[in-house]
Structure 1
């Protein structure tokens, strides 16, 4: 029987399942609507889709390493942090990372449509739907990034059991344990201090102007709050602004940050790498940093647990 768009639409509206799942269910049941609903129920797809309105802001990040030149990082979200301790969930996130390190996909949609690395009869999305039904929480593969070094190494670092994962790509003409350790130290720095840029040279003019505008507004407000006799002229404020901008840029640019393990408390990351490079006859340059922190940027829903339980028990209207 031919499966029409109208049939898919009807099943989707009645079950809340995804379009592709509805089409597959109708195809498997030869267009029988009731049988298609049962198919979705049996496969846990309805159960998973009904959770679509919930917020998945917890979960884990994971890294898969293929070799010194290739690695991938992923973030898979859940509704609660309890799930991050679930062995089945952890195994799934590790499998997603393995999928990512072998993938050539450039976006999440194509990644989700790939054949699942652990079972070629299903897609990554199919695997997500299945584990969602097992875990009984909304789960989401939020993002992935694969890094391939052209000339050098990619070094991973995972912090807090998967709360933060970092990949650092470094250009280097020499690769040994000391250099790998140095790049890992830099990855730890990225995890701890979350730089926005590698170098101040990477800061766009738009970003510079935006930050200058904000700091200028702050400085003007501070100046206005001073007694009239102590207020600074505009040219002094602008000179102070340059100092504040330079200080901020040092804090958000990896190379200009003070290296967290510096014994003198002054050595920058760039100076640290130069020192390691000199000791090993190498030129080390950080080319790329990728930092995933679980749930960053997701607005979490604040819920009153006692109130939720009361609602479930019917004591609140």
Structure 2
């Protein structure tokens, strides 16, 4: 029987086991899901089966840097913030970060099938399943990004114990304490104000036109009696204001309201004798984009006590 990618994905969603483990189990069971689950359980690979459908929207973001030029940022999720602060969980996340940093893995799926950095007898996915069994919650390695700086440096920043993580990749002929401190300040800016772009040069014409249409509709609805020429001026003003909010270099620098980030970097560049150019940044916020389950703990306790 042909084992399709869709079948493997479904079994993986059911059990939390690795892709290749799921494929082998389906082959062995000739496509029978129930038997495949039994195969995985017998091998100790589906101990997290009952937790697979839970929502893991807490957790932490971790950053790791090597020699100032290679860096990774990774998000690993848990079900509760309590577990996110657990030393066992945080050690596992740190090991995952180290695994990514020292390998050429490019996707979460590839990472899952790699030999575990601390024990080559098992895969990363198998270690994840083991951690789920020990910790007692659904855990998930959600995403990661790896940056290799060219002609410069990568500077990390963690906020709130890992609630938000940032990497800033910059080009600079000089890499010293002053440059790193300036880039850390920029990383803090990214964490605080969450820009979408480094500069306006990154924004596509399609994005600009789309925003103009939205702003035009807003301005027209708010000012139905205004002539078209006035509406156009209003659109330009509002668009410029919006771009200042979404472009890092245009943002007002949080540590000095008289400067933009671009002007701040100009000052530092002049002081260190070389241009500092922000090439890119990555910002992860734990659980962003995941629909969190609303829990009523008082109600849950009451239910348990009434049983």
1:313 to partner: Cα distance: 6.2
**CA distance in 2: counterparts of 1:203 and 1:143, whole angstroms:** 24
Q: Is this contact kept in 2: 1:73–1:145, CA < 8 A?
A: yes
Q: TM-score, normalised by structure 2?
A: 0.87
Give the corresponding residue for 1:54: 54
**SS of 1:235 mapped into structure 2:** helix
Give the corresponding residue for 1:228: none
Q: Does 1:238 align with 2:239?
A: no
**CA distance in 1: counterparts of 2:156 and 2:52, whole angstroms:** 32
Q: Is this contact kept in 2: 1:73–1:100, CA < 8 A?
A: no
| Residue 300 (structure 1) aligned to one of 281, 286, 292 | 292
1:26 to partner: Cα distance: 9.5
Q: Is this contact kept in 2: 1:152–1:173, CA < 8 A?
A: yes
1:215-263 CA-to-partner distances (Å, cap 9, x unmatched) read 1221122114xxxxxx31121011111000001101110111111112x
1:38 to partner: Cα distance: 8.3
1:115 to partner: Cα distance: 1.4
Give the corresponding residue for 2:216: 216
Q: Is this contact kept in 2: 1:100–1:145, CA < 8 A?
A: no
Give the corresponding residue for 1:268: 260
Q: Larger C-alpha radius of gyration, 1 or 2?
A: 1
* RMSD of aligned alpha carbons: 2.8
1:61 to partner: Cα distance: 0.4
Give the corresponding residue for 2:31: none
Give the corresponding residue for 2:182: 182
1:10-89 matched pairs, under 5 angstroms: 16-17=14-15, 18=17, 20-21=20-21, 37=38, 40=41, 43=44, 45-89=45-89
1:8-40 CA-to-partner distances (Å, cap 9, x unmatched) read x8xx97x94346445667999xxxx99x84872
1:171-214 CA-to-partner distances (Å, cap 9, x unmatched) read 00111111111111101111111110000111111211222122
**SS of 1:50 mapped into structure 2:** helix
In structure 1, runs of 5+ residues without a counterpart are 225-230
Q: Is this contact kept in 1: 2:40–2:46, CA < 8 A?
A: no
**CA distance in 2: counterparts of 1:71 and 1:102, whole angstroms:** 10
1:87-236 matched pairs, under 5 angstroms: 87-224=87-224, 231-236=225-230
**SS of 1:214 mapped into structure 2:** helix
**CA distance in 1: counterparts of 2:147 and 2:40, whole angstroms:** 39
**SS of 2:47 mapped into structure 1:** helix
Question: Residues 181 and 313 of structure 1: is their aligned pair in 2 closer, same or farther, counting only changes over 3 Å?
Answer: same
**CA distance in 1: counterparts of 2:140 and 2:88, whole angstroms:** 15
**SS of 2:99 mapped into structure 1:** helix
| Residue 254 (structure 1) aligned to one of 234, 248, 255 | 248
Question: Residues 240 and 102 of structure 1: is their aligned pair in 2 closer, same or farther, counting only changes over 3 Å?
Answer: same
Q: Is this contact kept in 2: 1:77–1:140, CA < 8 A?
A: yes
**CA distance in 2: counterparts of 1:219 and 1:290, whole angstroms:** 33
**CA distance in 1: counterparts of 2:23 and 2:193, whole angstroms:** 47
**CA distance in 2: counterparts of 1:238 and 1:38, whole angstroms:** 66
Question: Residues 271 and 37 of structure 1: is their aligned pair in 2 closer, same or farther, counting only changes over 3 Å?
Answer: same
**What number of residue pairs does the alignment pair up?**
295
Q: Is this contact kept in 1: 2:169–2:278, CA < 8 A?
A: yes
In structure 2, runs of 5+ residues without a counterpart are 29-33
Q: Is this contact kept in 1: 2:68–2:154, CA < 8 A?
A: yes
**CA distance in 1: counterparts of 2:182 and 2:26, whole angstroms:** 56
